[in-house]
Structure 1
Amino acid sequence: MSINCIRTLIEDAAQSHSDKTALVFNEKSITYSELFTKVNQVAYYLKELDLPKDSRIGIYSNKGIEQVIAILAILSTDYILVPLTKLLKSEQVEYIIKDCDIKCIITDRLKLESIEEINFDGHIISYETAGKEIASFEEIFKYYNKPYACDINGHSNALITYSFGMSGTPKGIVISHRNLIDSARVVSQYLKLEEDDVISAILIFNLDYGLNQIFCTLYKRATLAIHRFILAEDFFNHLINDKVTVIPLMPINITQMFDEDMHRIPSSELFENVKTITSSGGNVTARMISACKKTFTNADFYSMHGLTEAFRSTYLDPSQVGIRPDSIGKAIPDVELYVINKDGKECAVREVGELIHRGGYIYKGFWNAPEQNAERFKSVQILKDVINLEGQLTDEIVVASGDYVYKDEEGYFYFVSRHDNMIKTRGFRVSPYEIESVVSRCFPQIEQCAVFSVNNELIEEEIIMVYSAPSEIAPKEILFELKKHLASYMIPSRVIYKKSLPLVQSDKNQVNKDELKRELSQN
């Protein structure tokens, strides 16, 4: 068995900390020994399906102990995990299923209906008993009690996570078992995680930041306290009742936490156990940091910046958060970062250029997407005018991130913009092309449509839709239709009608979104 796989962590934890609580969810808890047993039972059943090696298995369900068991069971086989966030609509799930040829889906009773809508012809497994034709965890836990063993290669593909790219359709990024171990190791190191930590799992387990909470827990033999964030009051109760010490967040979570009257937030004395807060998936503001510091008085606040193509690039040390809250920090251990201009030269201090990620935590590439791979994964030769490559191998891969940043006099990085038109809102990356294509399909009377974003401190970026048509369509009608086809975080907050849209001078087929933004800012 490779030492560079999550399966090794599960086995070791079950041996060394068998009676320790591994997972907590509301009133339920499970020890490392019990977790190992249930993971083995599900993994055994999956192997009995006798699917080809590297077959993709999707998880499309709400968060809970069963979902973590499903994740770890798939990672204990030679199959590949494909997380499908519950926020996706059925047609988006159908696209992903076809794109990577998912052979099996693990789900819950609530999502079964959505799967039935798309006529999925692969294997379906439900957490709860849902009928004679569908296997369930309840049955697996009852009847599958044979010993299970596996041999996982650390360089094998473990996971494909999907996000929305320039083409408007989701693109899967392929992550190896070694990547998962490396990310757990480095985060545990710079966050100073300990065995007695209780890590809050409020993030959904569909992207690497959320999944990393599971793997860090296993790496340190800590405890993962699962919570579904709906109301701030319930979240604060979760932190108190579960004695949470580490809180991984996205900026939108911080906004939700402190959206209510500050007088209704529990006393800071109740959160003395909280020692670490992390934030990734968007820019944090000084106001967000201040609110966290006021409530979690003993906590160090880490602001972090990651890439789609690599687990993480930077973190801002807590000692610097109050001094330079707008900075994304410096490179994490084992990573080198460079800022280069269009000529490949290293940028001067405070000169904006593209962030190049070299070193650890680079993922394997986009699934069946050669154009995206060619755009983002480059030969180290791209840095030939920046670093000395004499005598070095030239097949080393670096990531040209598409993030435009600058570096200050003390070496701290600051994010400026994306090269593409991706929108970051509520912790998600959203492609405007995905929304525009749905509008085009559902509203043939709309002649032109432009989707873009404007800054909104509460959710980072606010989605705006502007369109032209022979006559105005009620905004409610447009939003009602979009909600049938798009995840909730992709729905525009404003829909604006104009008789005609400004066009780019050099391309009369392209809407001038910059001009629309200027018009909007003047209103």
Structure 2
Amino acid sequence: MQNSIRSLLEIAHKKHPNKIALIEKENKLTYQELLTKVNQLANYFNQLGLEDGARVGIYSNKSIEQVITILALLSTPYIIVPITRFLKPEQVEYIINDAGIECIVTDKTKISTIEKINFQGQMITFEPLQDALVSLKEIYKCFNSNFDLELDTDLPAIITYGFGSDGSQKGIVMTQKNLLDGTRIVSNYLDLNEDDIISGLLSFNLDYGLNQIFCTLHAGATLALHKFILPSNFFGHLLKDKVTVLALMPVHISKMFDEDSHRLPMSSQLDHVRVITSSGGNITKEMVKKVDDYFKPAKFYSMHGLIEALRSTYLDPSQIHIRPTSIGKAIPEVEVYIINEEGNECQAYEVGELIHRGCCIYQGYWNSEKSTKERFKNISILEKVITIENPDEIVIATGDYVYKDEEGYIYFVDRKDDMIKTSGYRVSPKEIEDVVYSNFKEIKQCAVFGVPNAQIEEEIILVYSAKDKIPLNEITFELKKHLATYMMPTTIEFRESLPLKASHHEVVDKAVLKKEFLI
């Protein structure tokens, strides 16, 4: 019975004990070996004497040991708090204090950060590092491989931290049921099966990456871990591991084609890739074309997720060339609505807020009743749109501004928090950024945001990075061809590089840039 993430592992093990479950370079684990190590580590965690619901941090690089630790903790009544490896010591310390972390599992690359902040709880290391610390290697020698424990699937299982638009860190709470629901739905519409080799390219600190682990177990497939360094070694991973399912963020699509084409494999060598997914950003027509040129047989799923729910919509691959910039329609077991400020359902091409109803809704924000109330709303906000049967039902007011076309396909405009108000107009930074990317191929990254201006509410700032600075008059001349006058940036600045978010190390941190212009 699939009633916890652990049950997915047990079922996969029962069906395929000798099948390879995990690959990391030359290291491989069968389902039998994986279950044994997970059970040994879960037994160790259970004898630590922590209370049910205690928070345990995982602060490490991606590895087989990290996956084992995630699955072991999901076998216990404790709550996992993944800590992104790019965070600075003060940011790590904030999460430890905010979540009340009592134990941290770490590796040799991150232990020095924990020591700097003088963490007083228990520490466990992947490899033997200090005599005073217990390592996974020692645990495997000493603890039993039999394990059994009933879990309440409605209790919190994971708290993932990300950054809000104001730069503050917030934790979102997920239950075992949330994880299972997302796994089942995604696995079904992607049609994953036991013959698949799923790329573990994404970070396991957020739900999109974690979902790759759980979908692998659900299908009884194989997960091949990889860290993106250069396009050549990324394609090497696809070829060597014979990847069939590839989960990406849009930035990966841009980066994978950064090298000269003669350094990349021929598209015919990649015919084994049958499914590609993208989430965590917006897809462009150019990205779709590049993927199509290199992965000809692959079905490309563009997906839209939320901080408060794993997934809201996906675009069927049959539509990717017809409407490549659409985020599609609602995933199975979810309903989505677009409402205006009066609470009425928006007509075709009318921009409004996306409301998520149904499956995959997380529990709320950790230690933040205010943030939870802002996003998790009573069903009554849809009273002008649907007949309400359960007055206690909760939906998500996503904060995403979107519109639908006459066939019901949805298009993302921008985050409600990011929209710029200038000269009486609402301006989408994304719309300006899309124009920049479409017309300046040399621009690698750009960020558009507003800063206060008493005369026009906000003025528009554009900051970009490229190999070389582009003459200002060239940029303004081109932008004027595509943008209304009120959408034109008043300030355009070149930087050799732009600050990136610690939680999404490929996404520009606009909060940091904005602070520079407010000084």
TM-score relative to the length of structure 1: 0.83
Structure 2 matches for 1:69-80, cutoff 5 A?
69-80=68-79
Match for 1:395: what amino acid?
A: D
Alpha-carbon shift at residue 78 of structure 1 (Å): 0.2
Alpha-carbon shift at residue 385 of structure 1 (Å): 0.3
- The answer as to whether partners of 2:501 and 2:507 remain within 8 angstroms in 1 is no
Runs of 4+ in 1 over 6 A off after TM superposition: 463-467, 482-487, 490-498
- The answer as to whether partners of 1:22 and 1:32 remain within 8 angstroms in 2 is yes
| Equivalent-residue separation in structure 1 for 2:396 and 2:262 (angstroms) | 46
Alpha-carbon shift at residue 9 of structure 1 (Å): 0.8
Alpha-carbon shift at residue 494 of structure 1 (Å): 13
3-state SS of 1:34 partner: helix
Q: Are residues 115 and 283 of structure 1, via their aligned partners in 2, closer, same or farther at CA, if it must alter by over 3 Å? A: same
What is residue 376 of structure 1 aligned with on the other side?
375
- The answer as to whether partners of 1:7 and 1:152 remain within 8 angstroms in 2 is no
Alpha-carbon shift at residue 263 of structure 1 (Å): 2.8
Moved more, 38-47 or 259-268: 259-268
What is residue 400 of structure 2 aligned with on the other side?
403
3-state SS of 1:288 partner: helix
3-state SS of 1:91 partner: helix
Match for 2:447: what amino acid?
A: E
1:345-398 residue CA offsets vs partner (Å, 9 max, x unmatched): 111110000000011110111111111111100111100000112xx1200000
Structure 2 matches for 1:79-478, cutoff 5 A?
79-145=78-144, 147-389=146-388, 392-421=389-418, 455=433, 457=437, 461-462=446-447
Match for 1:462: what amino acid?
A: A
Q: Are residues 136 and 491 of structure 1, via their aligned partners in 2, closer, same or farther at CA, if it must alter by over 3 Å? A: same
- The answer as to whether partners of 2:165 and 2:511 remain within 8 angstroms in 1 is no
| Equivalent-residue separation in structure 2 for 1:325 and 1:56 (angstroms) | 41
- Structure 2 unmatched ranges of 5 or more: 421-428, 438-442, 453-494
Alpha-carbon shift at residue 484 of structure 1 (Å): 13
| Equivalent-residue separation in structure 2 for 1:360 and 1:494 (angstroms) | 31
What is residue 50 of structure 1 aligned with on the other side?
49
What is residue 39 of structure 2 aligned with on the other side?
40
What is residue 425 of structure 2 aligned with on the other side?
none
| Equivalent-residue separation in structure 1 for 2:446 and 2:164 (angstroms) | 17
1:201-244 residue CA offsets vs partner (Å, 9 max, x unmatched): 10000111000000000001000010011111001011001010
Alpha-carbon shift at residue 169 of structure 1 (Å): 1.6
What is residue 457 of structure 2 aligned with on the other side?
none
What is residue 445 of structure 1 aligned with on the other side?
none
Q: Are residues 484 and 284 of structure 1, via their aligned partners in 2, closer, same or farther at CA, if it must alter by over 3 Å? A: closer
Match for 1:352: what amino acid?
A: V
- The answer as to whether partners of 2:166 and 2:511 remain within 8 angstroms in 1 is no
Q: Are residues 370 and 136 of structure 1, via their aligned partners in 2, closer, same or farther at CA, if it must alter by over 3 Å? A: same
| Equivalent-residue separation in structure 1 for 2:16 and 2:500 (angstroms) | 46
Q: Are residues 395 and 491 of structure 1, via their aligned partners in 2, closer, same or farther at CA, if it must alter by over 3 Å? A: closer
- The answer as to whether partners of 1:465 and 1:494 remain within 8 angstroms in 2 is no
Alpha-carbon shift at residue 264 of structure 1 (Å): 2.1
| Equivalent-residue separation in structure 2 for 1:494 and 1:141 (angstroms) | 44
| Equivalent-residue separation in structure 1 for 2:137 and 2:318 (angstroms) | 48
3-state SS of 1:213 partner: helix
| Equivalent-residue separation in structure 1 for 2:24 and 2:178 (angstroms) | 27
3-state SS of 2:109 partner: helix
TM-score relative to the length of structure 2: 0.84
Moved more, 489-498 or 377-386: 489-498
What is residue 23 of structure 1 aligned with on the other side?
22
3-state SS of 2:395 partner: strand
| Equivalent-residue separation in structure 2 for 1:83 and 1:70 (angstroms) | 11
Alpha-carbon shift at residue 417 of structure 1 (Å): 1.1
What is residue 489 of structure 2 aligned with on the other side?
none
| Equivalent-residue separation in structure 1 for 2:31 and 2:503 (angstroms) | 38
| Equivalent-residue separation in structure 2 for 1:216 and 1:317 (angstroms) | 19
3-state SS of 2:110 partner: helix
Alpha-carbon shift at residue 167 of structure 1 (Å): 4.5
Match for 2:122: what amino acid?
A: H
1:172-209 residue CA offsets vs partner (Å, 9 max, x unmatched): 11000001111110011111111100000100001110
- The answer as to whether partners of 2:5 and 2:179 remain within 8 angstroms in 1 is yes
Match for 2:409: what amino acid?
A: Y
Q: Are residues 376 and 461 of structure 1, via their aligned partners in 2, closer, same or farther at CA, if it must alter by over 3 Å? A: farther
3-state SS of 1:175 partner: strand
- The answer as to whether partners of 1:47 and 1:77 remain within 8 angstroms in 2 is yes
How many pairs align? 463
- The answer as to whether partners of 2:86 and 2:502 remain within 8 angstroms in 1 is no
RMSD: 3.0
1:29-53 residue CA offsets vs partner (Å, 9 max, x unmatched): 0000100000011111111111011
Identity rate, percent? 53
Alpha-carbon shift at residue 265 of structure 1 (Å): 1.3
| Equivalent-residue separation in structure 2 for 1:495 and 1:380 (angstroms) | 36
- The answer as to whether partners of 1:166 and 1:422 remain within 8 angstroms in 2 is no
- Structure 1 unmatched ranges of 5 or more: 424-451, 468-477, 502-510, 513-523
What is residue 447 of structure 1 aligned with on the other side?
none
Q: Are residues 487 and 329 of structure 1, via their aligned partners in 2, closer, same or farther at CA, if it must alter by over 3 Å? A: closer
- The answer as to whether partners of 1:57 and 1:103 remain within 8 angstroms in 2 is yes
- The answer as to whether partners of 2:356 and 2:397 remain within 8 angstroms in 1 is yes
Alpha-carbon shift at residue 462 of structure 1 (Å): 2.9
| Equivalent-residue separation in structure 2 for 1:409 and 1:385 (angstroms) | 21
Match for 2:31: what amino acid?
A: Y
1:117-145 residue CA offsets vs partner (Å, 9 max, x unmatched): 11000111110101111110111112113
